[in-house]
Structure 1
Amino acid sequence: MNTLINGIHHVTSLASDAQRNVDFYVGILGLRMIKKTINFDAPDVYHLYYGDENGTPGSVLTFFPYAGLSRGRKGIGQLTYTAYSIPEASLSFWMDRLVSFGIPYAGPYKRFDETYLRFEDFDGTGIELVANRADVRPGWDNGKIPVEFSIRGFHTVSLNENNIDRTVSLLTNVMQHTLVAEEKDRFRFQAGAGGSGSFVDVLFSPNEVRALQGAGSVHHVAFSTDSDETQLEIREQLLSSGYQPTEVLDRNYFHSIYYREPGGILFEIATNPPGFTIDEPQESLGSALKLPEWYEPRRAKIEAALPVLVAEAK
């Protein structure tokens, strides 16, 4: 069988203030802003992309910052925590760094064979840092965080469900994930070759409240596929399994289909190409506002309505 899904491509969330969002992910976590564009469906709102130096699939966290958006609520039917991979020796560095910026954290905790920290961004978005020795992806030297301590990319996404059977069936029977570990009410699945960036944890949480979307909520999680051809193949499999994926949508940097998993979480399948260097060189990623060609005639009006952002590591 062809490998159709490689792991996580990106995670997209909601925020309430664009500059505070940049301050957290670029300033504190040390991610690179790899793309500054707009919400294609609401051009008066930024779409901000953070990732590693090259914007590699599996490292990309994106946000729609709606000014003044009310805070959401974590619960069932939601991706509640996005975990990043960090080098095993960097745990104390990150604990000290979070304290220095006044970011409360919980942990270190143990899960499976991992040690991790848990905290939230300024809007309540759930973030974890998982220390592990197996991740060989390169770090990015942003001039403030030593490269030997820097974030490598995603490790895991956690899905809270009140009935896991149909979600598990989708992951294993259609999306080519395999069960690799379980602990109490947490079940870990991996895609492709496995390892950091391929893990999906499904949490059986029948007694939690239903999630409410708002600032701090994850909008959707995207899974990586190699090409337009593999995307169409997984789309056909979804259709034949009773799901209703959208038509293929052009997101400039990747092509996308979307569908709801049985617990209500929005899933996306995103192609790896064409990538984030399609409209600006690697060395200047994220430095200018990039618009799809159909919005270029409105550039002056769009830019005038958006706040000026400063992206600096701290």
Structure 2
Amino acid sequence: MFGKKVLSFVDFDDQKYQLISDENNTGVASGTPWQKGPIPLDYAITGLGPIFVRIAKFDYFKEVLEKIYEFKEISQEAAFHLFEVGEGGNGGQVIVEDSPNLHQAQQGFGTVHHVAFRVEDSAALQEWIERYDMFRLPSSGYVDRHFFESLYARVAPQILFELATDGPGFMGDEPYETLGEMLSLPPFLEPKRAQIEKLVRPIDTVRSTNEFIKE
């Protein structure tokens, strides 16, 4: 698709995924894969993108992407349209499928709740709040997520976009070496930790003391 090698698959909830090759990718640089994981580094995941959206009212959504978010349509293959913003590349692209007979989605297993785009800081987020107001796009307004700051907007039926700041980040209460090995909660939920932990399905997230043999 659009000159990219793509491997599509679904999980046990029928959630759809795609692995997209960064081979010959330009634009936004790929991230750094998990160095000590079981996957050989040549095949490891290095980031998220492009975002894939299936939409019934394509013309409206195209206008939103181009006028509000300043994306540019750079290619089309049948019903699939490739939009790009900023530096472009897999990390700066959205693939939109024009699907006029699409039934309205319902939130549940096998669906994506929202997609997020990064912005630098609070000042950048405030500029987007003002931009949404200028285009009269209803939004959540400023939201403090403790680990980052956010702004949400329903840009089309059942399509929710989030803009999120880079900081403060997830390492304010735990070091990188053990990051993600325990349930991290914002301060207002800490008093309910015991109750929440009883409801969360146990997942083995310990990696700091494990040694993985690459497959």
Q: Do Structure 1 and Structure 2 share a fold, with TM-score over 0.5?
A: yes
Equivalent residue for 1:124? 14
Residues 1:209 and 1:283: Cα distance change in structure 2 (over 3 Å): same
Alignment of 1:272-283 (within 5 A): 272-283=166-177
Matched, 1:115 2:5: yes
Once the two structures are superposed, what CA deviation does each residue of 1:210-255 show, in whole Å capped at 9, x if it has no partner?
2222111100011111111111111111111121111211112211
Q: 1:289 to 1:264 in 2, by over 3 A?
A: closer
- Give the superposition deviation at 1:132: 3.0
SS in 1 for 2:49: strand
Contact 2:83–2:95 at 8 Å: present in 1 too?
yes
CA distance in 2, matches of 1:136, 1:224: 15
Q: Which amino acid aligns with 1:172?
A: E
Contact 1:245 1:257 in 2 (8 A): yes
Letter in 2 for 1:122: F
For residue 136 of structure 1, report the CA deviation from its aligned partner. 4.4
Correspondences of 1:259-298 after superposition (within 5 Å): 259-298=153-192
TM-score using structure 2 length: 0.87
SS in 2 for 1:261: strand
Asked if the contact 2:85–2:93 (Cα under 8 Å) also holds between the matched residues in 1, the reply is yes
Paired positions, count? 204
Whether 1:207 and 2:97 are equivalent positions in the alignment is: no
Task: Give the Cα–Cα distance (whole angstroms) in 2 for the partners of residues 189 and 261 of structure 1.
Answer: 16
User: Where in structure 2 are there 5+ consecutive unaligned residues?
Assistant: 207-211
Moved segments of 4+, more than 4 Å: none
Change beyond 3 A, Cα 1:208–1:226:
same
Deviates more, 1:301-310 or 1:166-175: 301-310
In the alignment, structure 1 residue 146 sits paired with structure 2 residue 146: no
Q: Secondary structure at the match of 1:197?
A: helix
The answer to whether 1:245 aligns with 2:139 is: yes
Q: Judge conservation of contact 1:163–1:263 (CA < 8 Å) in 2.
A: no
Structure-2 residue corresponding to 1:226: 120
TM-score scaled by structure 1?
0.61
Structure 1 partner of 2:71: 177
Q: CA deviation at 1:138?
A: 2.5
Q: How many Å separate the matches in 2 of 1:259 and 1:293?
A: 26
Classify 1:168/1:234 alpha carbon distance in 2 versus 1 (closer, same or farther; 3 Å).
Answer: same
Does the 8 Å CA contact 1:244/1:259 hold for their aligned counterparts?
yes
Whose strand fraction is larger, Structure 1's or Structure 2's?
Answer: 1
> What is the Cα deviation at residue 147 of structure 1?
1.2
Aligned residues with identical type, % of pairs:
33
Q: What is the CA distance between 1:308 and its match in structure 2?
A: 2.5
Cα distance between partner residues in 2 of 1:234 and 1:244: 12
Higher relative contact order structure (alpha carbons within 8 Å, sequence separation ≥ 6)? 1
For structure 1, which runs of at least 5 residues remain unmatched after alignment? 1-110
Which amino acid in 1 is paired with 2:87? A
Aligned-pair distance for 1:209?
A: 2.6
One-letter amino acid matched to 2:15: T
Deviations for 1:148-174, whole angstroms, at most 9, x for unmatched residues?
210111121111111112211111111
